[in-house]
């Protein structure tokens, strides 16, 4: 085996990079999609649930009550664009592009280029409507803030080192 394969402590996932959460409180690369929750510009009670699938970039956007987003007609709406931008801040452009299968070629992995590369494929609206699932993932994510701390040692966390180095 190569040395990398033999490392117990190898860092597989870099830590998320800090970002402001007010506009896009939640993004994740999961279930073969980039998906997230985007605040409505006008109504504090309303959020949009947006997603883009890896590979064909099939997209969806609706409110958490399943009302379709008015801006999502044949192309990415501003919520999807904001979600992609924030995902690039949080995970870095390389990781977002790799997960979505965006071939960057020699381009820099910034959000604008990643968006325009996806645009060129003329993606269509997704047949799947993952809003409910994504929203419940968001609630699960928020629930982590409510869990009790413990002073019992967790020995297995020795395997999870913090990392200064971006992977």
Partner 1 sequence: MVRAVEGSGVMRADLLVEPVAGCDEALAVVDGFDRALAGGLLRPRAGADVALAALADAVGGTPLGPLVTEAAEKAGAGVAGEEDLVALAGARVAILGSVHDALVARLDEATWRTREVWPGAGEVTQQSANLLAAARSWLADVARVGWHGMDHELVAGAAPVVSVMLPDTGLRRLATLLDGFAAELAASCPGATLERVPVRRWADLWSRAMLLTEPGAAGSRTVTGAGPADVVAAAGSSSTTATVTGRLLPLGIDLHEHATAVQAQIHAVLEPADGGAPRLVRASVSVPKPDTVVGMGVWQLLRPHMSLIAAFSEGRAMDLADMPITAEGDLRWSDDKARRSEPADPFAAARLVLPTATAACTAPLARHPARIAELVFLEGYKVADGVLELSGGRLVLDTDRIPEASPLTPELVRASTSCIGLVRWDAGTFTLQPLAVEAPVKKKATAVHAGAWAGGTADKEGVQAEKAAAEAVTVLRERAGKLLRK
Cα(13)–Cα(135) distance, integer angstroms? 24
Residue 8 contacts which entry, partner 1, Zn ion, none (Cβ below 5-8 A, type-dependent):
partner 1
43 binds partner 1 (CB under 8 A): no
Query: Given the complex with partner 1, which of 7 and 108 has the nearer CB atom?
Result: 7
103 binds partner 1 (CB under 8 A): no
- Rounded least distance, CB 158 to partner 1, Å: 6
* Of residues 87, 71, 82, the one with CA closest to residue 16: 87
Is the alpha carbon torsion for 7, 156, 13, 17 positive or negative?
A: negative
Give backbone dihedrals phi and psi of 37, rounded to 5 degrees, phi first.
Answer: -125, 130
79 binds Zn ion (CB under 5 A): yes
The stretch near partner 1 (CB under 8 A) out of 18-26, 66-74, 105-113, 115-123 is 18-26
The stretch near partner 1 (CB under 8 A) out of 1-9, 73-81, 105-113, 115-123 is 1-9
The stretch near partner 1 (CB under 8 A) out of 65-73, 74-82, 106-114, 143-151 is 143-151
Residue 121 contacts which entry, Zn ion, partner 1, none (Cβ below 5-8 A, type-dependent):
none
**DSSP conformation letters of 27-70:** EEEETTEEEEEEE-SS-TT-EEEEEEETTT--EEEEETT-PBPT
Neighbouring CB atoms inside 10 A of 112's CB total: 14
Give backbone dihedrals phi and psi of 12, rounded to 5 degrees, phi first.
Answer: -85, -40
35 binds Zn ion (CB under 5 A): no
Which residues would be at the binding site for Zn ion (CB under 5 A)?
A: 48, 61, 69, 71-72, 77, 79
């Amino acid at each position: 085996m190569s040395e990398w394969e033999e490392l117990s402590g190898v860092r597989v996932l870099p830590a998320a990079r800090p970002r402001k959460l007010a506009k896009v409180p939640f993004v994740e690369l999961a279930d073969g999609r980039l998906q997230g929750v985007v605040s409505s510009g006008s109504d504090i009670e309303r959020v949009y649930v947006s997603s883009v699938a890896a590979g064909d970039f099939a997209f969806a956007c609706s409110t958490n009550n399943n009302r379709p987003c008015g801006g999502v007609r044949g192309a990415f709406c501003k919520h999807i664009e904001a979600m992609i931008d924030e995902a690039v801040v949080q995970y870095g452009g390389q990781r977002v592009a790799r997960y979505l299968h965006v071939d960057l070629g020699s381009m820099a992995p910034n959000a604008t280029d990643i968006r325009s590369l996806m645009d060129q494929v003329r993606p269509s609206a997704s047949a799947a409507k993952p809003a409910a699932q994504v929203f419940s993932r968001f609630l699960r994510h928020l629930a982590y803030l409510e869990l009790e701390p413990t002073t019992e040692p967790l020995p297995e966390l020795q395997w999870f080192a913090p990392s200064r180095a971006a992977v």
